[in-house]
Structure 1
């Protein structure tokens, strides 16, 4: 049988297509296997450390609400002693990632913000975690600012320190403005430098200067941006599975591994400039003192609610 030139050309094209698909499929399989083993290795390394630290992994009921336009909204909580009923949240943030635009945003809610805590009357917002955990913090944010979040991630200070050392062994670069020492268990001196986990924890917790809690919130947002830069510039996409495995044992969260992997990979692929907002905003609150509560920031809730909803692209009906 004589094979025409046209048939030979068709056969060649089919072979090229078959070879291309085979290569693509092989890459997917290899990448998946690599990601799995990198993730498991990260978990193994972190679990060895968390077992020594005796960091608990408690069950948390969290009735998060999915964003109506597809954004990923995560409630980030830093607490004094995870697992303790009396642990107030020292840090309250909302992290938002917009998959369509690659935009990342962080909202810091001042811990002394005076709000209505459902079932407990008006108190500082940081009391919500002590009274009802991450779920009550979510309900409090919804009650006062009409903002829904779908996910939460809680980390205690010991976990934060070791997480930084494990994930970023060379430290995180920051600019220390002034000497810092009061109530942080160490002394930090002015200047640009890389801080290890314990030092970085002291840096983000320090509030005994002229800016008190406001300076502390600015430093927290600065560190979040620096961590994002470290992830994208040093670790890269190939390190994401290992990093996720490393981080996971240190936090309590309801984010499933598939979502973490997907968002993490997209986040690293995009420009990591992070937009920041602090609540209450300047000029929208008064400093007051209430019996049994102490000094608080009493906000104009209507103004702050509108600003926060606009910033996070949430416009409840």
Structure 2
């Protein structure tokens, strides 16, 4: 009997240690429409989420789609990082992000931006404070207006419009909007009042999205989202634009890139 308890105790300790190990999730939003295959599309949004379970902490950073980076599946030629998904799908995108941030991506989630529209509808929307004042149309069918500082319940077409706009401000602001909505979805689902939506979102995600995340490991993200906002830290890669052979690229500032590597190293 003592031997059994000893084995169970060792197993429990190993499990707790494993559950406490930090990990990185790459969230890939592609520009394919609902009736199009994801393969061959571009990664319109790239967000790395680092979960530090023993600190109940989450870090999030967006990688601008036009970042000038090496593309591993194209013999490490330098190009916009958004093209990594076009050339080599999820694996090439993971490799490009790992190479850029000098880290390890443990899991990934890939979705179309229409999936954000559908999921926000399923959960009754997410409340977000607009970070900019702008108008954004939905494929010339409907125009949505947002005022900076005002709270909006985003769902459906309105959520898609908010996350995709980038014409009147910057790519950084659009990246922030994407993080706001993703964070809002996660916080709503982990709150007790949002548990009723979990089966619907799970079924939808299983049918329409590419999710490669260990479900047990994913549970370690819950404390950070249930605790105060200060446990969710957001970072940016800063830099400048540059024209190379007539094409505009985002050139990351080396100091900013080094800080990102330090924060998201795995």
Structures share fold, TM-score greater than 0.5: yes
Q: TM-score, normalised by structure 2?
A: 0.78
How far has the Cα of 1:196 moved from its partner?
1.4
Unaligned runs of 5+ residues in structure 1 are 1-66
**TM-score using structure 1 length:** 0.66
Tell me which of 206, 211, 214 is aligned to 1:253: 211
What is the rounded CA distance, in whole Å, between the counterparts of 2:226 and 2:249 in structure 1? Answer: 41
Larger Rg: 1
Q: Which residue of 2 aligns with 1:160?
A: 116
1:148 match: secondary structure: coil
Retained in 1: the 8 A contact 2:120–2:185? no
- 1:144 and 1:237 mapped to 2: Cα distance? 36
User: How far, CA to CA, are the matches of 1:75 and 1:192 in structure 2?
Assistant: 28
Q: Does the CA contact (< 8 Å) of 1:114 and 1:299 recur in 2? A: yes
Residue 251 of structure 2 is aligned with which of 288, 294, 298? 298
Of the three residues 41, 58, 71, the one matched with 1:117 is: 71
Distance 1:110 1:307 in 2: 16
Unaligned runs of 5+ in 2: 1-17
Whether 1:263 aligns to 2:220 is: yes
Q: Is the 8 A contact 1:163 1:250 kept in 2?
A: no
Give the Å deviation of 1:232: 4.2
Q: 1:200 aligns with which of 136, 141, 159?
A: 159
Partner SS state of residue 111, structure 2: strand
Deviation at 1:298, TM superposition (A): 1.5
Equivalence for 1:227: 185
Question: 1:180 corresponds to which residue?
Answer: 135
Aligned to 1:48: none
SS at match of 2:259: helix
Match of 1:80 among 31, 35, 40: 31
Count of equivalent residues: 237
> Structure 1 residues 277, 151: closer, same or farther in 2, change over 3 A?
same
Structure-2 change in CA distance of 1:271 and 1:72 (3 Å): farther
Write 1 or 2 for the structure with the bigger share of strand.
2
The whole-number CA distance in structure 2 between the counterparts of 1:182 and 1:296 is 26
1:307 aligns with 2:262: no
1:287 to partner: Cα distance = 1.6
Cα distance in 1 for partners of 2:226, 2:188 equals: 13
Q: Distance in 2 between matches of 1:265 and 1:286?
A: 36
Contact persistence 2:60–2:233 (CA under 8 A): yes
* TM-aligned CA deviation for residue 122 of structure 1: 0.6
Moved more, 150-159 or 248-257: 248-257
Q: CA RMSD in A?
A: 2.7
